[in-house]
Structures are given as C-alpha cells and as structure tokens.
Structure 1
C-alpha cells in the first residue's frame, strides 16, 4: 500500500549527491524490501532420497527515520548588511523522507540575534544561493523528499539588526525533523513507512540540528574638516582675496566597509569657488559630471569616494576665494 504522505506535491530528490567532505550514509536495507527465505530438508527412505521445502517466510523491512544536519561554512561568516549561511541536510534513514525545517536566530550566548530574511533549498545543487532560482520555503515548512542516503543544502539569508556592535558573534540554528514523526528511538508509526511497513525512529530521534556562526562586520565614517589660508600678501590672514583650501578627511572604523560614500559640501557664503580645484586623495578632478568622481559648481561639491574599508581614510580638497 502506498503511503499518501509521501506524495503531497513534494518533488523527489536524487538518491545521493557528491558535495561535502563528510557524507552520512543511510542505515541498511532499503525500507519496503522483502526479505524472503525458504528452508529445505532431504532424507532417505528405502534407498531413495526425498527433499521437502518449508513454507516461505517474508519480512518487510520497516523504514528507519534518521537525519543529520551540518554547517558547511568555514568559520564565522562576516555579516555587514546581509549574509548567507549554508547547511547540509542528510537523510540517514533507509527510506525516502521529507523533513520540516525550522530556523532559529535566537541562540543562548549570542552577542546579537540576526534577522532571518529567506530560507531556501539549493534547487540546482550548485552550492551557491541564487535568488529566483533556489526554492524558497517558509520557516517550519518541509523539504522535498530525500531518497535514502540523499542530501541537499539549505541556505539561510540573514541581515544584521540595527545598532549591532562591530565584532559581536551570533549563531543561527537550523533544525530538521522527519515529517513522518520523531521521538524516542524505537518509537513506531504504524503503516507510515516506505513500502507500506512501519516507520521507526532511529538513534538520531529523527531530529537533528546544526549551528551556523556569524560575526558582525560593520563600519562607520568620521569626517574631519580643516582649512589653510594664503592671503594676497604671502601671509595666512582671512582677508578679501585670500584663497582658502578646505580639506575633508573621511575615516572608516570597524571591521567591515562602507559603500557608496559621498562627500558633499556647500561653498561658504562670502566666498567664491575656485574652478576645477576639487581633488580626491591628491588627484585633481574636473567640475563637470563626467567620468571622474567629482562634480562641483558655484554652490558646492559632491565627490564619490565609493567603498571605504574599516581603518582606511580618504581626503577631499577644494578651494574658495574670500570675496
């Protein structure tokens, strides 16, 4: 008798996959297999030999429910804006089974709790999370069926909560449980095994979990503005006609990086911008909106620094003349 639970619109996955250094193997003979045996005996009477056979005994192998989950990430994954954690799910039982997936970002000892955005199954088995390609599931939903000894990857996309301090550590737990049921080893579910036999909970309790590790990797920017003056008489007095060179130093701190960093400044009242005086890191920029990183006019400047890693600095300079 076919177990209808095994056909609730889940797509069967391949019997096994090649990824991962440690592959957990299914337990023994495939569920539903018939182990049959017939005994025979021979004896002699009056010079003749007679052979007789016993009845055939038949044993249908029950399904053993077992599962393993492991993290595939090498060490802690840096988390700035978002990150992808990768886990491996192995069906170590001896029959086809689907597994419910629960993701918990709240783990005892966490320095911060990540925000879970997406849970997905590696639908094309290439090991890389691909939005729009990999199969997204809701928290608590089931995977497609995995054949005995079958494996798949689970991707968990997380973001960093606001206010997280750089360098804090966090973990995300992924738990997989056999959809047929779980519990104390030896617990039996009558008639729910592959091939019509029973399903029996194995040593893993048909429930397993693994932790993925994160490290907060954020950055912030500090701006320091300074100026120098050269007056028309060779001194440094702020008199009409003096040229003021403004220097804006942008310094990033933290273990991460900032992106799309712009330095914007208005031309001070009482002064006139010196055309084409903008420079980034000592390299002159044009005022026009062309291929370089700067735009400037009589009203102000806008210089694109772009990406700046924690611990790095960049400077923007421009000049005005006191009216």
Structure 2
C-alpha cells in the first residue's frame, strides 16, 4: 500500500484532530417538527378597521445530517501486548436522534502529529462507552454501534486491538468511521440513512434528508460519514545479547593458534543489540565468572563495536571498581570478585555495543 503523507486535511471537516472540547455547529430545530404560520391583513372601510386572517401555512423541518469524529490521540503501548485501547469521540450534529454504524480501519499514512505508519494491529475491534465513564470495560462496553444519540451529544468510542511481536516497528495508524443511521428504536441498529435526491422538489408535508457533513481524509463531503485517525506507538525496545569466548594466548603456543589449556588467556565478548523501536536506556550487562577461570584484573572494556557476536573493537577500559577517573567516560564497569558488570547508558535502535573481559584458565 502506498504511504501517503497527510498534512492539513485532517484539521477540518467531518474528521478532525481538534480537542474534544472544541466547538461545533448546533443541530438546530428538531427534524420532523411541524411549523405552522398564519398571516393577517388589516384595512379600513369607511373609517372602520377590519382584518382578515390567511390560511395556515405549515412545513415540516427536514433532517440535516451532520456529525464529527474526533481523534488525534497517540496511545502508548508495548510490543506483543493484547487488548490495547485507543479512544475517539463521535458527536451527533444532526437535528434528530440518530444511530451510527461504526467501522474500525487501518491506513498506511504519514501524519505529522501521529507519525508514519509501519505496522498493523491485529484483531481490531470497536466498542461504545455505554456508561460514559471514559474507560474501556470489557464486560460492560460491548455495544458495537451507537444507539439513539441525541442531537448535540457526544459519545466515546474505543478501538481495541493486539500489538504484534515484531521488533523494529513503532507506529500503527488506525481510524474510526461513523456513518449515520436511522434512530427511533432503542436497542436496534437502524438502517443506513439515504439522502433525499436533489432532483426531487421539497415537499412541505414530508421530512427530507439532507447530508451536511464536511469532507475529510478518505471521506467525501455530504456522505453522512465522519472519520478520524489515532495512532498506537510502541515505546519499548527489543534488546538481545550474544556471548562468545576467544582464546587470546596460551603458555605453550603463545599467540600462534592458542588453545584453551590451563594458563591460557580467554576473552569473553558480550554483544548487546537493540532492534527497537525505542531507545534502551540504563543497560546493565552482568556475567557470573565461570568456575575453572580467574578474572584478569582491569581487563574490562565497555562500549566497543560488536559484529557477529565478536568484539571487533573494544571500548573504553574500565577498572574493577566504580570510582576513579575512569568513571568519567561514557560507560562504566566493575568486578566484585564473582560478577563482572558493564554499564551502557543508552543503546540506540540498530546499534550493537560490547562489554569484554579476560580470564585465565585454571
């Protein structure tokens, strides 16, 4: 699907990113209201005042269908989590009580205030906040359409979905579409409203239907549909670590193809990687010194470059305590007699850093 950049189109029309408290046009006189009117004429004959009343002219107020769907919310979530909730608000600006069909959707968009979509939620569902408390309650908020929403009244609608367990992705843009349907029978989802044909002359004795909603993204003007967009944003990091052991030297072969015999020097390399989508902070690598080895004092180096689980380039040298001038660099490390520790303050997405130390084989 094409990635579409949406800039200002969402800021107006039936799909709006404005605050939910924003003003909207009032619905007006209720549809179906009969408005009678009678005129009179007064005149004088021979100095005598007289008057005559006209007939009563009556017309029925037609239904002006309008609504807004409000979003623009970023919902923070985590990778691999289920039943994550984001909320919209639907406002009935029709001059009549209406039902509304509700449809959840996902779009491959780039919206400046929401981000660029790069993954899809799964099992996306829609529910109405039936008790109006603004909190999704699985056993209570089970309605999947808006029932009998009065004019100039709003209701919260929840989208609920599952976040896939795929590292490196962070934004899913979702939308809610609300379509006007006939009201008047509580507990029953009304049929979709159809506008009266513009080719049909107005009849003062019948209630016509006129769509008056504005256009929006993926939403035509005067179609009885409103749409808005929210985003799920994954804020966690997928951190992994690999560990390798490499023989540096031995007392017999020295540096030429050394073997792991007693007295040999072995370097352990711990490579930490972040697949994203968030930056990992306060990363702490710990390693219990294995039996049969002796730690080589001040051999710890942290913040080096790793590739394929190996230390390609060692980082800054750290002594075995947590004090001294070496602690002024970007990384930290220590050895307490049994555990080696390396500290990395921040690990960006797509970056691999290492902690390396050496032991001798007993």
- The two structures share one fold, judged by TM-score above 0.5: yes
Match of 1:39 in 2: 39
Aligned residues: 281
Pick aligned residue for 1:154 from 149, 152, 157: 157
Per-residue displacement from partner, 1:175-217 (whole Å, max 9, x unpaired)?
2122314344227xxxxxxxxx857252433233344456788
Asked if structure 2 preserves the Cα contact closer than 8 Å seen for 1:183 and 1:201, the reply is no
Residues 101 and 175, structure 1, Cα contact 8 Å, conserved in 2: yes
Query: 1:186 aligned to 2:196?
Result: yes
Query: Cα RMSD (Å) of the superposition?
Result: 5.3
Distance 1:164 1:219, change over 3 A: closer
Per the alignment, residue 88 of structure 2 pairs with 87
TM-score (norm 2): 0.54
Per the alignment, residue 176 of structure 1 pairs with: 178
Match of 1:53 in 2: 53
Question: For 1:1-80, what aligned pairs fall within 5 Å after superposition?
Answer: 19-20=19-20, 23-73=23-73, 80=79
8 Å CA contact 1:103–1:172 kept in 2: the answer is yes
State the alpha-carbon separation in 1 of the partners of residues 164 and 79 from structure 2: 10
CA distance in structure 2 between the partners assigned to 1:313 and 1:165 by the alignment? 14
Taking the aligned partners of 1:77 and 1:250, their CA distance within structure 2 comes to 25
1:237-293 superposed Cα distances (whole Å, 9 cap, x missing partner)? 75535665534121213433569988676765644689xx9998759699xxxxxxx
The equivalent of 1:115 in structure 2 is: 122
Question: Which secondary structure state, in structure 1, belongs to the residue aligned with residue 98 of structure 2?
Answer: coil
Pairwise CA distance, 1:103: 1.0
1:183–1:304 Cα change, 3 Å: farther
Cα distance between partner residues in 1 of 2:283 and 2:357: 18
1:200 corresponds to 2:219: no
Of 225, 237, 242 in structure 2, the residue corresponding to residue 223 of structure 1 is 242
Alignment CA distance shift 1:60-1:164 (3 Å): farther
1:251 aligned to which of 273, 277, 292? 273
Summarize the Cα distance change of 1:305–1:151 in structure 2 as closer, same or farther, 3 Å threshold.
farther
- Give the whole-Å Cα distance in 2 for the aligned partners of 1:230 and 1:46: 134
Q: CA deviation at 1:36?
A: 3.1
SS at match of 1:113: coil
How far residue 156 of structure 1 moved from its aligned partner, in angstroms, is 2.3
Question: CA–CA distance in 2 between the matches of 1:198 and 1:222?
Answer: 69
> Would the alpha carbon gap of residues 228 and 144 (structure 1) be closer, same or farther in structure 2, given more than 3 Å must change?
farther
